[in-house]
């Protein structure tokens, strides 16, 4: 009697070319993102030997992706070391967030958001990342902290978060300094002031299955 293949742990591999470097990894997680990657990935390897990704001569090319970012994502998708926790740096987690957002790796995007939330203490950087990667909680937190801050928003900070955002933040500050406002009104005022942006970001988050879990 011939042996049968285990339904979960008989893994096919796939070959990618990123900035001239070949990566050969299990295709499991990439199959789960079949909307982004070729449909042939979801077929048995023996049936698609001539398709892209199954030989070194015909890899799947990933233009617009850096070798460093792809390496950092692989550290999470397919870790080579056994560890109780993933000890990636802040920059490495941003790489994971970048590609997991781009390729709709929802679970890994959620993990990266949680890690960066803990690692990033820079308010302006958190706002920048929140705008770029559509994370409403970072925008809410960052806008409120800037509105509460007594120091002025510097020119460099304004360039990063955007001049319109800067004007809105100063508007919140002016309202908050009025006698009719209390500290508890900051978040509500932020939500009203940035209502359209926050609604747009939350709509994008729904596509990643994150907003309803926050």
pLDDT reported for residue 71: 97
109 close to 36: Cβ distance less than 8 angstroms: no
pLDDT reported for residue 68: 98
Chunked into runs of 10 residues, the chain (214 residues) has average pLDDT values of 87 93 93 67 63 88 96 93 80 97 92 96 97 97 94 96 96 77 75 96 88 48
* pTM assigned to the model: 0.87
Q: Where are the domains of the chain?
A: 123-206
53 close to 60: Cβ distance less than 8 angstroms: yes
Residues whose CB falls within 8 Å of the CB of residue 121, separated by 6 or more in sequence, listed in order: none
């Amino acid at each position: 009697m011939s042996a049968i293949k285990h339904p979960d742990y008989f893994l096919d591999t796939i070959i990618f070319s990123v900035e001239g470097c070949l990566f050969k990894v299990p295709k499991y997680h990439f199959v789960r993102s079949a909307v982004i990657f070729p449909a042939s990935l979801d077929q048995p390897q023996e049936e698609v030997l001539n398709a892209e990704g199954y030989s070194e001569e015909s890899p799947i090319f990933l233009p617009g992706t850096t070798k460093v970012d792809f390496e950092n994502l692989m550290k999470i998708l397919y870790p080579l070391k056994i560890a109780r926790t993933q000890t990636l740096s802040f920059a490495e987690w941003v790489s994971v967030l970048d590609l997991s957002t781009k390729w709709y790796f929802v679970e890994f995007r959620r993990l990266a958001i949680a890690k960066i939330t803990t690692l990033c203490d820079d308010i302006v950087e958190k706002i920048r990342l929140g705008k770029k990667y559509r994370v409403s909680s970072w925008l809410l937190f960052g806008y409120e902290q800037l509105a509460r801050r007594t120091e002025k928003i510097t020119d460099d900070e304004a360039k990063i978060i955007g001049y319109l955002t800067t004007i809105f933040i100063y508007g919140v500050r002016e309202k908050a300094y009025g006698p009719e406002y209390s500290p508890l009104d900051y978040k509500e005022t932020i939500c009203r002031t940035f209502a359209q942006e926050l609604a747009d970001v939350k709509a994008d988050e729904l596509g990643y299955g994150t907003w309803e879990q926050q």
